[in-house]
Amino acid sequence: MDIIDAIILGIIQGLTEFLPVSSSGHLELGAALLGDSKLPEESMMFSVILHFATALATILVFRKDILEIFTGLLQFKWNEETKFSLKIILSMIPAAIVGVFFNEQLEQFFGGKIVFVGSMLLLTAVLLYLADKAKNTDKPVNFGNAVLVGIAQAIAILPGISRSGATISTSVLLGIDKSKAARFSFLMVVPLILGKIAKDILDGALTYNSDSFGYLSAGFIAAFIAGYFACTWMIALVRKSKLTYFSIYCAIVGLIAIGAGLLR
């Protein structure tokens, strides 16, 4: 992989981690477009670097919210910050279970299976369309909804199903306020990404050599910058009910992916 390819994939990851169009699906399609059925031998390290960049972008955008949560937790009181933290933890459980116990099964859906990716993008398109047409309410995220949104996040591990699209759509369809749905969706993924990175490090699954420093750095910077702007932009778009545009985009890309996969 050269630096240009790394920048392209970094931008794809940064944008699609927050925009509801599936980062994993676009990375699969991006890799296929660049002529590789899979990323290079150090793909695990590259993937971790890109996800770490988007996690940092989320922390920067929501730094005030995260500071309030930590401040509330340090007070050892049953307050709103404590309740919110527990909801975040609950939302992580389904994806953590899938990631730990079904990792090998999940890997079968990756590696150039663009017809499957296209099909899942069509499912994302339907979810976004339904959410955009749902009436906005002022309901907060409760503990039961946190679990359901967490299940949506677990399903979105599949390439082609947007994590942000699935979690925000599920939240909105449950009657949660759109701004609160976007905030919860973006904050709930930060500990999950950091936990996944920690697991990969402890498992010794990451490989690195000095020759890869250039493209890893380029990918990180591209993903961080693109992620920061995409996160900020997405919050505004959800408030203004603009998800239909992404629904159309996912449908078009999904159909193209299916067509390309069937013809090759």
| Amino acid 38: pLDDT | 45
Q: Round the average pLDDT of the chain to a whole number and report it.
A: 84
| Amino acid 34: pLDDT | 64
| Amino acid 25: pLDDT | 82
Phi, psi of 159 (to 5 degrees): -65, 130
Instruction: Delimit the domains of the chain by residue range.
Output: 3-263
Question: Using one digit for the tens of pLDDT, what is the confidence trace for 40-79?
Answer: 445 667 878 888 898 899 999 989 888 887 777 777 777 7
Give the gyration radius of the chain's Cα atoms. Answer: 18
Is the four-CA dihedral 61, 48, 161, 2 of positive or negative sign?
A: positive
Distance CA 115, CA 99 (A): 23
DSSP state of 212: G
Is residue 176 classed as helix, strand or coil in its secondary structure?
strand
Q: How confident is the model at residue 82 (pLDDT cuts 50, 70, 90)?
A: confident
| Amino acid 151: pLDDT | 95
Positions of E strands within the chain: none
| Amino acid 205: pLDDT | 59
Nearest alpha-carbon partner for 251 in 95, 122, 107? 122
Cα diameter, the chain: 60
Question: Using one digit for the tens of pLDDT, what is the confidence trace for 124-152?
Answer: 999 999 988 888 777 888 999 999 999 99
User: What would the two tokens of residue 46 be?
Assistant: 């590259």
Is the four-CA dihedral 233, 238, 239, 244 of positive or negative sign?
A: positive
| Amino acid 126: pLDDT | 95
Question: Using one digit for the tens of pLDDT, what is the confidence trace for 160-210?
Answer: 898 889 999 999 999 998 888 888 988 888 887 887 778 777 776 566 666
Distance CA 14, CA 181 (A): 20
31 and 39 Cβ atoms separated by less than 8 Å: yes
Mean pLDDT of 235-251: 87
| Amino acid 41: pLDDT | 45
